[in-house]
Amino acid sequence: MSSADAVEYDYLQTPEAIRVRCEQVFELAKAGQLEHWELDESRLGEVAVRVLSVTRRTYPDLKLIPYHGRYRHFDVGGVPRLADFSRKIAHLSSDEQLAARFELVITSVLLDAGAGPSWRYRGADGAEYTRSEGLAVASYELYASGALDGKGLAELSESTLGSAFQVTADNPLTGLAGRAALLRRLGQVVANTPEYFGSEAPRLGNLGVHLKRAANSAGQLAASAILHAVLAALGPIWQGRPTLSGKSLGDVWRHSRVGFVPFHKLSQWLSYSLFEPLESAGVHIADGSALTGLAEYRNGGLYFDAGVLKLRHPEARAQTHAVDSDLVIEWRALTIALLDRTATLLRAILGMSAEQLPLARILEGGTWRAGRAIAAEEREGGGPPLLIVSDGTVF
Q: What is the pLDDT of residues 346-356, one digit of tens each?
A: 999 999 999 89
Tell me the sheet residues that pair with 285. Answer: 221
Dihedral sign (CA 325, 179, 75, 127): positive
Asked, for residue 211, whether it belongs to a domain, the answer is yes
Asked, for residue 167, whether it belongs to a domain, the answer is yes
Q: In which domain, by residue range, is 99 found?
A: 3-389
Taking residues 127-141, what's their average pLDDT? 93
Work out the mean pLDDT of the chain and round it to a whole number. 93
Is the per-residue pLDDT at 393 higher than 70?
no
pLDDT confidence tier of residue 94, bands split at 50, 70 and 90: very high
Asked, for residue 286, whether it belongs to a domain, the answer is yes
Asked, for residue 73, whether it belongs to a domain, the answer is yes
Phi and psi, residue 310, nearest 5°: -130, 140
pLDDT score for 92: 97
Asked, for residue 395, whether it belongs to a domain, the answer is no
Helix (H, G, I), strand (E, B) or coil at 128: strand
Taking residues 206-218, what's their average pLDDT? 96
Contact 304, 379 (CB under 8 A): no
Q: What is the pTM of this model?
A: 0.92
Helix (H) or strand (E) holding 90: none
pLDDT confidence tier of residue 186, bands split at 50, 70 and 90: very high
More reliable by pLDDT, 110 or 292: 292
pLDDT score for 392: 57
Is the per-residue pLDDT at 382 higher than 90?
no
- Scored b (16 or more CB within 10 A) or e, 6-44 reads eebbeebbbbebbbebbebbbebbeeeebebbebeeeeb
Residue 91: count other Cβ atoms within 10 Å of its Cβ.
8
Asked, for residue 153, whether it belongs to a domain, the answer is yes
Taking residues 184-204, what's their average pLDDT? 94
| Cα 70 to Cα 226: distance, rounded to the nearest angstrom | 15
pLDDT score for 391: 62
pLDDT score for 288: 84
Per-residue pLDDT of 155-167, as tens digits, reads 999 999 999 999 9
Is the per-residue pLDDT at 309 higher than 70?
yes
pLDDT score for 47: 97
More reliable by pLDDT, 95 or 61: 95
Residue 70: count other Cβ atoms within 10 Å of its Cβ.
26
pLDDT score for 117: 81
Question: What is the number of domains present in the chain?
Answer: 1
Which amino acid would we find at residue 279? Answer: E
| Cα 132 to Cα 372: distance, rounded to the nearest angstrom | 11
More reliable by pLDDT, 232 or 114: 232
pLDDT score for 395: 60
Contact 173, 138 (CB under 8 A): no
| Cα 162 to Cα 231: distance, rounded to the nearest angstrom | 27
Asked, for residue 9, whether it belongs to a domain, the answer is yes
| Cα 253 to Cα 241: distance, rounded to the nearest angstrom | 8
Helix (H, G, I), strand (E, B) or coil at 388: strand
Contact 335, 266 (CB under 8 A): no
| Cα 185 to Cα 22: distance, rounded to the nearest angstrom | 29
Asked, for residue 246, whether it belongs to a domain, the answer is yes
Question: Using omega within 30 degrees of 0 as the cis cutoff, is the peptide bond preceding 293 cis?
Answer: no
The contacts of residue 88 (CB under 8 Å, 6+ apart) are none
**pLDDT > 70: percent of the chain:** 99
Using alpha carbons, select from 67, 47, 110 the residue that is nearest to residue 344: 47
